[in-house]
Chains A and B, each alone.
Chain A
Amino acid sequence: MDIEMGLDAHATIIFWSMILPLIGAVGVVALGRWPNLRDSWTIVVGISTFTCVTRLIEPVMAGARPSLALPGNMAGLGLALEVEPLGLLFGLVASGLWILTSLYGFGYMRGHEEVNQTRFFTCFALAISAALGIAFAGDLITLFLFYELLTFSTFPLVTHAGTEAAIRAGRLYLGILVSTSVLFLLLAILWTANLSDTLRFTPGGILDGKIAGASAGLLLLLFSYGVGKAALMPFHRWLPAAMVAPTPVSALLHAVAVVKAGVFTVLKISIYIFGIDFLAKDGLSDILMGIAAITILAASIRALSLDNLKARLAYSTISQLSYIVLGAALANSAAAMGAGLHILMHALGKITLFFVAGAVMVVAHKTEVSQLDGLGRRMPITFGAFCIASFSIIGLPPFGGAWSKWYLVTGAFDADQPWMVVVFMLSSLLSIAYLMPIVVRAFFRPLPEGVPDGINEAPLLILLPICATALGCFVIFFYADSVYRLLAPAMGLGG
């Protein structure tokens, strides 16, 4: 009886964490005429959603898998949500950072005097709901439903400016994401449905013994490329294109929710559909490993040569996303743990970097790296945060990124893949090369002629989230253990 009650309570929590952002979206539309009220409402909804998701931590840590059957049965298959550790982590990251990004968004959108703010925050809330749907999806069909919803709900955000460039970017965004998902992902799901009588995410996977050899390799590639949001080369172009969106979108969606939904999906499919042990058999994931390694290096090299700050960060994201794909492809517990941790660590670091890029745009109206000379002296806190986040992305202790990289490299050793260790090391060097010059420029180069000296920081609403996420990069280094304990059961590591 007690268990029954407990499960029902969990189902209620899942229900509310999905529904709250939707209610938020409706509220935003209704309150559109009163911007202050509308924005406070967004914050209230954001905090409530996050609180809901956090209440799932305890039961999941205790080994429960809260679930909720949704009404409806697409294609004869029921829709179901089930919270497992990895999904919970992604849900926490997305909903937690939503609050900070909303705060930041108010400052940014007002500072930038953007139009159609109501539509903007409505779509934002819808996107978060879809991201939580992906996080909690209990089977492939449910995941696919929310995956596509996320694509379409973020389209108006990408094309927010309505300019010719934005429309073209929107076409690329939709074109690549929908094409890959329909051509590859849906096909892979249908293929799986043909092989297996279930599409549920099952610990240990559902495909072992049902498919083997080249077909299995093909299926894995279909899945990995089908998840266009993971931005594996050569299907990565949508991500730099999407940078035309306002910076809060780039920050939350294209550094956290959308792209992390992509790599999360790859990781989840690797663990719960293929199963880590099955992937490790007969070098099934070797090709994927190669593709991920190439993406890591090529994107880093591309980032070096870009002058536009957001574009450089976008390519850095592409490279970092493939860390997670590579972690999945290495197919052992340590690598998977590294991949899981990296979802959180990279999110904290990258969102800070984007926040800074937006702050620079609002305050100093600069978008290119070459224009940043001396700006660190006018905006010391902002660039200090940039420096901290860069260290975390590079993987230096005492910042969060060090842990995920540690486990990834350990995983590469465990998998007997010395070349992959080299890839990780090289990529760290490259990330130093494309991130550090920005810090150096901002702090050590003189300000250009005619620019007054003296502090000119971003407005408080922008500055606060920047400090919060930068601090997060630092604090999480010391609390990585609790995240490890959360993820351990999913990765086949004893809690």
Chain B
Amino acid sequence: MSDLASHLPVLQVLIPLLAAPLCFLLRKEAIVLPFTIAVSFACFAISMNLLSQVLGGDILVYEFGGWSRPYGIEYRVDILNAFVLVVVSGIAAVVFAVGPGQARRVIPEGREYLFYSAALLCLTGLLGVTITGDVFNIFVFLEISSLSSYILIALGLNRRALMAAFSYLIMGTIGATFLLIGIGFMYQATGTLNMVDMAHRIQVLGPTKGVLVALAFVMVGISIKLAVFPLHHWLPNAYSYAPPLVSAFLASTATKVAYYLLIRFTFGLFGAALVFETVGIDRLLLPLSIIAMFVGSIAAIYQTEFKRLLAYSSIAQIGYMTLGLSFATQAGVSAGLIHVFNHALMKGALFLVAACVTWRMGGTNLDVMKGLGQRMPFTMAAMVVAGLALVGVPGTVGFVSKWALVSAALEVDALWIAFLIMASSILALVYVWKVVEIAYFQTPEVELERREPPLRLLIPTWILAGAAIYFGIFSSYAVDVAELAAQQVFMVGL
């Protein structure tokens, strides 16, 4: 048993990787669904276990085939990536448990297993990117997750989903290519692909031309994946045309993993001194983050489709995360990480609300949401709760994020940035309240009786919405872990 426990890091990735083709073989939905749920919960359990192992400050290293670096590939678990693993696998467990109650509408009868295969592959990729200690491995897993997410997005009901998936494919591939070129330069400069070795050698080398070029390529590549303003254009289409379940999963996980990469590369591989002092990325990232906060929120206000509104809101929320990082302080990174967790909960809940609405109304145009407050009271209550969290009302996770981020801003004496963060959260109130007013005050064109979506859809929605309140009041679990992770990033590095 203890033998198995020592293999947990590899099992974290191996289980979903093997489960994906198994879904393909099992085919029958009655078997595939419980199987997928079991797999995703197993992943969640493993990640929780990994987190508890590293929380004391130890770093877990798993060498493949017993080959230690620099010869072999290794997986490396510290607090930072264990935290992200928990977020990704946790959201996967909740969202996959919904099953295709939603997907059934958009996937041809009898082909649900393809959906599950793609979803599990995507999960594999995201977990792999997060856990690996090898730079090239990052690229490989990133491609696994991206390719499968193109499939998932293309499953959308609207035919424009195909176009959205295609343009995401183009942008995603460009991003991956940039990342790969960057990794190539890094390899050329350091002669290793292992992250720890690479970090040491870059520190010795200092800002040589090769390292700087690598930094530029890597940053652009990750920024595309993360949808940093102005490289965000793929995101609104992808999230709004994808099946809502897919949006719920991707919005809460894919960008979070990209944010993890940003932290890993800046603080772990290149080192804060190079990135912030020599190159001064913060001078670019800070204004871009603030613009994203406002452009994303203002664009969200003008949307007429619920999922598209949420997608633009995501761009603004990603702005909060990158803003935290651009302070280049421990408090800033910790605030960004707290928001990774919190945003996953609230956006996940909101996209699941979108799934509920799609199940009932066949779409999520704001027009069809008229009067849903009386017709789907529990669903809409979840929407209000998660929406208020997005605004940052105290008692919800959004407040915890806002508090941490503004504290970080005040710590670097940036009162005006603190003010801008507050101002942009008012914009969030505007777009959230727009939906609330439509749902509660407008009368629908056709009279509908009161009916809620099946519990399989409603319970996961409320799990996330409830968590958005629970972790808003009992915030220390997430906050402590995020602070420890940020501390480790700053004190230990890799």
Q: What residues of chain A have their CB less than 8 Å away from a CB belonging to chain B?
A: 71-76, 79, 141, 144-145, 148-149, 152, 159, 162, 167, 171, 174-175, 178-179, 182-183, 186-187, 190-191, 193-194
Contacts and interface: CB of A to CB of B under 8 A. Distances in A.
Interface of B: 388, 391-395, 399-400, 402-404, 406-407, 410-411, 415, 418-419, 422-423, 425-426, 429, 433, 437, 441, 472-476, 479
A358 to B, nearest CB: 24
Nearest to B442: A167
Contact of A187 (B395, B419, B441, B479): B419
B394 A144 contact: yes
Contacts of B415: 191
A145 B476 contact: no
Contact of B426 (A145, A182, A190): A182
A159 B388 contact: no
27 contacts: A71-B473, A72-B473, A72-B475, A74-B395, A74-B399, A74-B400, A75-B475, A75-B479, A76-B479, A141-B394, A144-B394, A148-B393, A159-B441, A162-B441, A174-B429, A175-B429, A182-B422, A182-B426, A183-B422, A183-B423, A183-B426, A187-B422, A190-B403, A190-B406, A190-B418, A194-B410, A194-B411
Contacts of A144: 394
Contacts of B404: 75
Contacts of A149: 394-395
A71 B474 contact: yes
Nearest to A189: B403
Chain A CB within 10 Å, residue with most, of B410, B422, B429: B422
A152 B440 CA distance: 14
Given A167-B437, A194-B411, 5 more contacts: A73-B475, A152-B393, A182-B425, A186-B402, A190-B410
A76 B475 contact: yes
Contacts of B392: 182
Nearest to A145: B394
A73 B476 contact: yes
Contacts of A79: 473
A234 B50 CA distance: 55
A74 B426 contact: no
Contacts of A179: 426, 429
Nearest to B477: A73
B298 to A, nearest CB: 16
Chain B CB within 10 Å, residue with most, of A72, A159, A171: A72
A183 B423 CA distance: 6
B474 A183 contact: no
Given A178-B429, A194-B407, A186 B422 contact: yes
A149 B410 CA distance: 26
Nearest to A76: B479
Nearest to A159: B441
Contact of A148 (B394, B410, B422): B394
B400 A72 contact: no
Contacts of B426: 178-179, 182-183
A313 to B, nearest CB: 27
Given A72-B473, A74-B394, A152-B388, A190 B407 contact: yes
Contact of A72 (B391, B429, B474): B474
B407 to A, nearest CB: 6
A149 B426 CA distance: 16
Nearest to B409: A190
A186 B404 CA distance: 12
Contacts of B403: 74-75, 190
A174 B395 contact: no
A72 B477 CA distance: 11
A167 B438 CA distance: 11
A193 B407 contact: yes
A182 to B, nearest CB: 5
A464 B423 CA distance: 47
A343 to B, nearest CB: 24
A184 to B, nearest CB: 8
B230 to A, nearest CB: 27
Nearest to A185: B422
Given A144-B394, A152-B388, A194-B411, A73 B425 contact: no
